[in-house]
Every structure is written in structure tokens, then in C-alpha cells.
Amino acid sequence: MVPERSFGFCFSTNNPFRDQPNVFAEAQEKAREGDLNTTVLLLEAAILQDPQDAEAWQLLGMTHAENENEPAAIVSLQRSCLELRPHNLPALMALAISFTNGGAQQEACGALRRWISHNPRYKDLVQRDLLQGSPLTPRRGPHQLQDLLQLFQEAALLNVDGVDPDLQTGLGVLYNLVSDYDRAVEAFSAALSVRPQDYLLWNRLGATLANGNRCEEAVEAYTQALELQPGFIRSRYNLGISCINLGALREAVSNFLMALNQQRQSQPCSQHQMSDNIWAALRIALSMLDRTELFQAVGTRDLDQLMGAFEVDDV
């Protein structure tokens, strides 16, 4: 057993699953169902029982990312792929995406560099470039990003017989970092041609379309993600943001309220576990609707009052 606060991570107190057997298998099932809060508690229980369980740390990080909790996602993924299993490719890619979402460009590039360096399909290319003193020679700032983008582009040319969706995901992230949103859309679309049921990819496509001011297309991508995974909090939040940008303010409020309600479902969650980002976006939408009388409910995080005001069902 480990204390509730360790590895730089604060575990939930009074976890009802702490001593339950087979919690990791149950967490996997709950994750597939989209029950993110229960998944988190089950995974924390698995880690408290076995702190060296890299798979549990990895799934915990990915679940936190879906649940709009990027700081916890980064801590969990770093534990998984930096300490327990340094060459964990899925965790490294997820970590790069979380760093990107958090605005940590240098750290995102570092995770992507490690991903391609440890990928058996591309290690020869990486070694060649190291010997030539080109793309992977450590450089800072924009040079680092451009070098890494060039390396991923060269790697993509090796895949003459098909698309590597993971590499295309990395390319999509890098194109986003250099604000080349059209090429990022192409990269994520290529990945989706191989994995059309991947709701995470649909969300990334939506976010990229939104970054490129293609909000109507973004709404379609987010809607597809939510059809595949109705409990996907991040996509629900992103959909609300695009609704604001399109002037669909009541729809934006409804999506934010549904996202907040999903976060508190399944297991009792304290109010601080509901994303500050979603509450802030909700307040903006209410202001644009001139519903300032509801600001106090936002301040006290009275979700029931707000859901009643907009007739959002508790489902």
C-alpha cells in the first residue's frame, strides 16, 4: 500500500474500491462504458494495491485527459512512461498530447522525440539523422519544433504501403504546434481512415478544425466523437466552445451543463473535481446570454439550479 499522496499525485480519499480485488479489469470495462469517474477510482485503487502497475498509470492518465483534468493526466502518464516503462509508446503519445493541450510546447516535443526514437519502425531513420547531425540533434525553441516536424515527415514517407495512424497523430500534433491547421486536419483525417471508430481522433480533428476557424466542421467532428463515446467530457466541452463561436449560446450552455453533470455522476465527486475550465466557459456563455442573475449559482457551483434554469435533464 502507498499513502494517498505520493508520486506527486493526490489520490481520492475514502475510495470504496481500495481493497476490492480485480479492480483493473473492472476499470477497463468502466472506461469502455465511458464512466470516467468510476474508472478513475478503480484505477487509483489498482495503483494503491500495486504502485508499479504501469498499465494502470497509463489508463489513469488517459482517463484524466478525457475528463478535462490535464494536470493529473500528465502526472499519471509521466509515472507510466518515464519511470516504470520508459519506452511505452502509447503513453508517450498521450503525454505529448496532454502537454500540447496544456501549452507546454517544449515538453510536447520531448515526448514526441522519445516516441519516434523508441519506435521500431523508425529507429533506423532516427539513428541516421543522429549520425548526420540533423533533426534529432537537440536544439531549442522553434528550431527544435521544425527539426522534429521534418523527422516525422520523413518517417511518413517510409510508409508506402499504408498509413500509420500513430505517426499521423504525431504529425497532427506537430502541425497544430506550428499553427498549420490545414495540414493537421489532413494528418488526423489520414489517421481516421485507418481508425474510424476512434473517438479520441475525432475529437482531435474537431479541435484542429476549431483552431482553423472551421467551427461548423468542428461541431460535426465533436458530434461524431460523442456518438462513439457519449461520456467523453473533453469533447462535450469542446463542442460547447464551438457553439459559442457560432453564436449558438443556449446549445453551448446545455453542453457545458451536461459535461459538468457527467463529471459528478457515477460516484460522489466533490465540487473541485468539476473542471474549472468548464465553469469558466459556462460563465462566459451566461454573460453573452445576459443571464447575469445566474452568476451566483456559478460561483457556488450550484449545478442543479443551473440545470433547472435551462431544462437540462439529469441523465
Of 218, 272, 278, give the one whose Cα is nearest residue 254: 278
Question: What does the alpha-carbon distance between residue 313 and residue 315 come to, in Å, rounded to a whole number?
Answer: 6
Q: Output phi, psi for 6, to 5 deg.
A: -160, 165
User: In the prediction, which pLDDT does 135 show?
Assistant: 47
233 near 67, Cβ under 8 Å?
A: yes
| pTM of the complete model | 0.88
Q: How far apart are CA 237 and CA 222, in angstroms?
A: 9
Rounded-to-integer distance, Cα 142 and Cα 12, Å: 39
* pLDDT score of 80: 83
Q: Would you kindly state where each structural domain of the chain is located, as residue ranges?
A: 1-86
- Cβ atoms of 168 and 184 within 8 Å: the answer is no
- Nine-digit cell at 192? 481516421
Angle at alpha carbon of residue 71, lines to 22 and 249, rounded to 5°? 105
Local mean pLDDT, 10-residue blocks, the chain (315 residues)? 57 89 96 88 95 95 87 91 90 95 93 95 83 54 84 93 96 97 98 97 97 97 96 92 97 96 65 74 97 95 94 78
Helix (H) or strand (E) holding 30: helix 23-33
Positive or negative torsion for Cα 49, 54, 56, 60: positive
Q: Could you give the CA distance from residue 303 to residue 273 in angstroms, rounded to a whole number?
A: 13
- Asked if 256 contacts 281 with a C-beta cutoff of 8 angstroms, the reply is yes
What pLDDT does residue 270 have? Answer: 45
Q: Please name the residues in contact with 10: beta carbons below 8 A apart, sequence gap of 6 or more.
A: 4
pLDDT at residue 36, rounded to an integer: 86
* Superfamily classification of domain 1-86: Tetratricopeptide repeat domain (1.25.40.10)
Q: How far is CA 87 from CA 49, 61, 108, 181, 211, in A?
A: 24, 16, 16, 29, 31
